[in-house]
Structure formats: structure tokens, C-alpha cells
Amino acid sequence: MLRGFTTVTFFADDMTAARDWYTKVFESEPYFVREAAGEPAYLEWRAGDYQHEFGLLNSRFAPHPPAGRPAGAVIYWAVDDVEAAYRRLLDLGARPHAEPTERGPGFITASVTDPFGNILGVMFNQHYLDVLATS
């Protein structure tokens, strides 16, 4: 049985720039750092209400480096204000991917491409808030 997501992993070629950028996004330093061959190989932050794990893997050490950018699934992070979160990510240097769009009552999404080619989504999701209220 699937119990839920554990770690979301993005890729970056420039780990120093990626660490700096995501430290600003999460407003904290990574809690876990792994080095290989004298350079950062993997960084991990905890974020959000449930302390989800966000990992950043040096593309050089990826078992199957992503072919082309942007690629992969879009992970949507729950936010209270999609427009403000979207603008903040753009101000930090991300590029627009999908502007804020209402997807139905209680659901608004937007996404950006981070400076390293990964798609990062933000979402207001009423269901998320309903589940949070019962925990």
C-alpha cells in the first residue's frame, strides 16, 4: 500500500547556485548535505506543514540524468496565496512556466521553471487545508 510521498528530488548542474537559490526559496539551509568527489552531490531541506523532504541531486551523480530540461513531474507545493508565491519565485530568478490559473472552486495553480531547469509548482488547494484541519 502506498503511504504517501517521502522525498521529491530535483536536479542541478551548478550545486552552489542551486543551494543558494533554494535556501532563499525555503528560507533555511539544507539540513542534510552529502558530498562526493569533493563537491556537493546531494542536498536536502524539510519544508511545509508535514516537513516533507525536498532533495537536490547533482546531475553529475544522477543514476539516469534527465534528458533535456524542463522534465519530470510537476510537484505542487501548497501555498496560501498563489499569486504572491508565483511572483516571489519569479523575483528570485525563476522563469514563468504557467501563470496562476483557477482550476475550479478552491483550486488555483501556477508553476515556474527554476534556474536549473526543473518545474516547480505552487497551488492553493482546499482539500489540502481540509486534511490539515483534521490532523
For the chain, what are the domain ranges?
Answer: 1-63, 74-135
3-state secondary structure of 101: strand
pLDDT at 66: 55
pLDDT tens digits for the chain (135 residues)?
545 676 888 889 999 999 999 999 999 999 999 998 898 999 999 988 888 889 998 988 776 555 655 555 678 888 999 999 999 999 999 999 999 999 888 889 899 999 998 888 998 988 878 887 887
Q: What pLDDT does residue 37 have?
A: 86
User: What DSSP designation does 60 have?
Assistant: G
Domain 74-135, what fold?
Answer: 2,3-Dihydroxybiphenyl 1,2-Dioxygenase; domain 1 (3.10.180)
Cα(17)–Cα(14) distance, rounded to whole angstroms?
Answer: 6
Instruction: State residue 85's pLDDT score.
Output: 95
pLDDT at position 131 is 80
C-alpha dist (Å) from residue 77 to 3, 72, 89, 109: 18, 15, 12, 10
Fold category of 1-63 in CATH = 3.30.720
